[in-house]
Amino acid sequence: MAALSGVSLLSFALNVPGPVAVARLVAEGATAVKIEPPGGDPLTEYSRAWYDTLHAGITIVPLDLKSGEGRASLEPLLARADVVLTSQRPAALARLGLAPAALMARHPHLRVVTIVGDTSAPDRPGHDVTYQAEAGLLRADLPATFLADLAGAADAVTAVLLALREPAGTHRVVGLRDALAPFAAPHRHGLTGPDGRFGGADPAYGVYAAADGLIAVAALEPHFRARFYMTLGLPLDAPLHDVMRGRTCAAWAAFAREHDLPLSIAAHT
């Protein structure tokens, strides 16, 4: 039997963190119903394919919670749920009658997990990129992934699992910016800043331009570092920019396999 078999989730969470969390919980055996506003989830506009993947096996119920009819239709669904998951700001939840205290007053059996942007200022607007910026995780380019959203989703899964072990009436809050704290620690401790060993100060750990793309190099351990430089015929810890431009990505990949070195293709042009 799946670990969460018999657990019923009711989600109001849109965009990325909530759906990712619910998909993970459903994969462990929970059943889920998701309430969507008449306009649907914005994720369908960004990536219909990802939306479809995340919502496989989940019952979608469109409801206008600003109407009396929509709110009345919601009550039986709340009565059947074990855990409610939301991702709207507290002020919006209050306007819709979904504030945790109000939900649990009407349905004392519920446990509620709310996802917010920042637990210290939950009504302040923001998105993944702004939370990464505040955590010191951004450079000049936009990030390659939704780090705050996905870290928050993982924290939301944990919050649901913990809430299920706690008494009815439990309310847990997950913050997307808060979820970045462990990821920001290397930067905070000086490891990944511009002068940090993992931020560009160590020539054996970096991303370099090859003849036709980018190559990631991570020759950190002494034996990898020594073999890398010896094979290249360079003094230990010599700059690598010029030599890395001299081969294609495919050639560097073959070089890494031949000499058992931690190099990977980062991007082709």
Predicted confidence (pLDDT) per residue in 214-262, tens digit:
999 999 999 999 999 999 999 999 999 999 999 999 999 999 999 999 9
Domain ranges of the chain: 8-186, 202-268
pLDDT digit string (tens) for 145-177? 999 999 999 999 999 999 999 999 999 999 999
Q: What is the CATH number that goes with domain 202-268? A: 3.30.1540.10
In our burial notation (b when 16+ CB lie closer than 10 A, e otherwise), range 95-130 reads ebebbbeebbeebeebbbbbbbbbeeebeeebebeb
Whole-angstrom distance, CA of residue 79 vs CA of residue 220: 56
List beta partners, residue 216: 207, 264
Count Cα neighbours of 105 within 13 Å in the Cβ-side half-sphere. 6
**Does the pLDDT at position 267 exceed 90?**
no
Exposure of 257 in the CB half-sphere (CA atoms within 13 A): 6
Quote the CA–CA distance of 27 and 33 in Å, as a whole number.
Answer: 14
Strand ranges inside 136-256, DSSP E: 171-175, 205-209, 213-218
* pLDDT for residue 186: 94
Among 80-89, 132-141, 173-182, the range scoring the smallest mean pLDDT is 132-141
Cβ burial, residue 56 (10 Å; 0-12/13-18/19+)? exposed
- Cβ-contact 17, 176 below 8 angstroms: yes
- Can you tell me the mean pLDDT for 127-139? 92
CATH superfamily membership of 8-186: Crotonobetainyl-coa:carnitine coa-transferase; domain 1 (3.40.50.10540)
* Percent of the chain clearing pLDDT 90 (strictly above): 95
pLDDT in tens, 40-50: 999 999 999 99
Kindly tell me if the per-residue pLDDT of 141 is higher than 90.
Answer: no
Quick one: pLDDT at residue 99? 97
pLDDT of residue 146: 96
Biggest CA–CA distance in the chain, Å, is 76
Distance in angstroms (rounded) separating the CA atoms of residues 213 and 218? 17
Can you tell me the mean pLDDT for 190-214?
94
pLDDT tens readout for residues 108-121? 999 999 999 999 99
Confidence grade of residue 194 (pLDDT, cut at 50, 70, 90): confident
5's tokens? 């078999």
pLDDT value at position 59?
98
Report how far residue 100's alpha carbon sits from residue 163's, in angstroms, rounded to the nearest whole number. 13
Asked whether the domain spanning 202-268 has the same topology as the one spanning 8-186, the reply is no
CB atoms within 10 A of CB 169: 16
Name the pLDDT band for 269 (thresholds 50, 70, 90).
confident
174 and 156 in contact (C-beta within 8 Å)? yes
pLDDT at 1: 72
Provide the percentage of residues in the chain whose pLDDT is more than 70: 100
pLDDT value of residue 39 = 95
Look at residue 193 in the predicted model and tell me its pLDDT: 86
End-to-end CA distance of the chain: 48
**For position 9, what pLDDT does the model report?**
98
